[in-house]
Amino acid sequence: MNNDQYLLAIETSCDETAVAIIKNERELVANVVASQIESHKRFGGVVPEIASRHHIEQITVTLEEALTEAGLTLDDMDAIGVTEGPGLVGALLVGVNAAKGLAFAKHKPLVGVHHIAGHIYASRLEKEFEFPLLALVVSGGHTELVLMKGHNDFEVIGETRDDAAGEAYDKVARLLRLPYPGGPEIDRLAAQGEAVIDFPRAWLEEDSYDFSFSGLKSAVINKLHNASQKGEEFKPEDVAASFQESVVDVLSTKTKKAATAYEVNQVVVAGGVAANKGLRQALTETFKDTDIDLLIPPLNLCTDNAAMIATAGAVAYKQGHRAAWDLNAHPGLDLEEYGKRGSL
Amino acid sequence: MNILAIDTSNYILGVAVIKNHEVVGEWVTNVKKNHSVRLMPAIDQMMRETETSPEELDQIAVAHGPGSFTGVRIGMATAKSMAFALDIPVVGISSLEVLARQGTFFDGLICPFFDARRGRVYTGLYDGDMNVVIEERNIDMEEWLEQVKEMQQPILFVSQDLASFRETIEGIMGEYAVFPSAAHQYARPSYLALSAMKTPASSTHALMPNYLRLPEAEQKWLKKQEK
Ligand SMILES: [Zn+2]
């Protein structure tokens, strides 16, 4: 009698067509990501229609690769998981309908998964969660502090009031005429420069865990503009370093404050910006001498992937989440609401 | 030979089950409602009512476009993943060919079309035996009509978008224009299945939508390169 449990998950919320298979919630047995970054480069950002076209071209190829990598068949699966939202609707729809096709054909239960829950759960592939836990979610579309008192129990205690951190990175990267995607480019430049320019930090109200990055973006624009009017020029490396220091300072300070106030056991860093070296270093430094455990996923699990959807999906599956055949893509799916589905 | 046919490429949501050349079930709606939400429940119901289990299927047929980009992909994602899971062939058929079959008994040429906006249409020209007379394309409707008028033959115009083009068609085609009744203006998934039976299957991985149109971002990008 084999009691191992397998879940296959599909992720197509943005520009990666990904399929992964997870064993017993935390053991990754396949993780395939077909990236489209090259196709979007000449447009300076992800083009939703082009992303969707790639997904439909890649979907069954990626599925086959994942099953081959795991040495398993669909018959071995206990459930099929898929990113239901948030994300680009046309892109999500390819994954959602493909997942329904597989689940229907093979009589398997279907589980819809929240993309951000996935990003948070990516850390659980490395280390078991100890609640209460605080997640710092930083990506192109999100900057949030999420408190978790148990599995799939999400409370957003702070979020951005305007731009997400990743958005600010992209905008500043464009100002500095860096190639797409801009975030990693700024991170790379920042490592070579010095934070000589004093950019503002938006702390907001004393008791707030919210963020704001639009002012910082304007400050960068003004600084560059004023300098060029005077015929001066900042080294791009220094602009990048100064900008990054401001972002990272706010993120790590607020995370530390919230982690202390809520007496959490772990801090989990999640989302594409978690790949940022400057942020990883600053957070490591911040939590070094505390008894709070800092979890940052390896680089390949920070960017979009299906491994994170599979591990989050396995938890949702265990809690009784089941999607019906009318499952749709939900580009604006709410994290807290999603978590409540599991409390049977 | 058991076939499941799926068409979500346009307003029509069509599902049919064919067993040994017999159409045992066909479901068609012509409402502008979410195909993603309604397709799998429709398949589920059709399969249950015709007492067909997924394992009994020998082939999947899918309308591969042209049509709504998203609509085409909903059907294709479903068809491709089902074919992959069941390890059976999937056949993609032109959404225009499926529609043209509504004119099967018409003595003349058949012109199916879908509105592609801004005066343009996705269209092609077929004879009564479903041979392609003019390859499918994305073209300005008036330009297209001037072209097919040269055939000097009665042409049956089949489309769910007939109402918005009727005047233009009559204006250019005159007495060559023939219009079917409302019951013949919509693609039927049973015709899709019948077409699929005559078409060799491609590999599941290789089956791609036929959009007949580049993404807008790419059109703009190409235009910029020309300058
Ligand atoms: Zn993401």
| Count of beta carbons in the 10 Å neighbourhood of residue A319 | 16
- Report whether pLDDT(A180) > 90: no
Distance from the CA of A115 to the center of ligand 1, in angstroms? 6
CB contact (8 A) between residue A326 and residue B217: no
Task: Say whether pLDDT at A342 is over 90.
Answer: no
pLDDT, tens digit (0-9, with 9 covering 90-100), for B117-158: 999 999 999 999 999 999 999 999 999 999 999 999 999 999
pLDDT value at B167 more than 60? yes
For residue A344, what pLDDT is reported?
47
Q: Is B85 on the interface with A (CB under 8 A)?
A: yes
**For the segment A269-283, what is each residue's pLDDT rounded down to a tens digit?**
999 999 999 999 999
Is the ipTM higher than 0.90? The answer is: yes
CB of B7 closer than 8 Å to CB of B95: yes
Which residue has better confidence, A343 or A126? Answer: A126
pLDDT in tens, A308-321: 999 999 999 999 99
% of residues, chain A, pLDDT over 70: 99
Nearest-CB residue to B81 (from A43, A60, A107): A60
Q: Where are the alpha helices (DSSP H) in B101-181?
A: 141-149, 162-173
Q: What pLDDT is recorded for position A182?
A: 87
Q: Residue B143, Cβ neighbours under 10 Å: how many?
A: 11
Quote the ligand 1 centre to A119 CA distance (angstroms). 7
User: What number is the average pLDDT over the span A248-254?
Assistant: 96
CA distance A328 to chain B (A): 5
* Closest Cβ–Cβ partner in A43, A52, A61 for B221: A43
Query: Domains in chain A, start-ordered, CATH in brackets?
Result: 6-120+304-339 (3.30.420.40), 128-296 (3.30.420.40)
Query: Does residue A343 register a pLDDT over 60?
Result: no
Confidence at residue A220, expressed as pLDDT on a 0 to 100 scale? 93
Q: Is A263 exposed, middle or buried (0-12, 13-18, 19+ CB in 10 A)?
A: exposed
Per-residue pLDDT at B68 exceeds 90: yes
**B220 CB near a chain A CB, below 8 Å?**
no
Chain A contact present for B222, CB below 8 A: no
Give chain B's domains with CATH numbers. 3-95+187-222 (3.30.420.40), 96-184 (3.30.420.200)
What is residue A2's predicted lDDT score, i.e. its pLDDT? 72
Higher pLDDT, A130 or A174: A130
Strands A79-85 and A6-11: parallel
How does the average pLDDT of chain A come out, rounded? 94
If residue B85 lies in a helix (H) or strand (E), which one and from where to where? helix B69-86
Q: Flag whether pLDDT at A268 surpasses 60.
A: yes
Contact call for residues A96 and B39 (beta carbons, < 8 A): no
Q: What pTM did the predictor assign?
A: 0.96
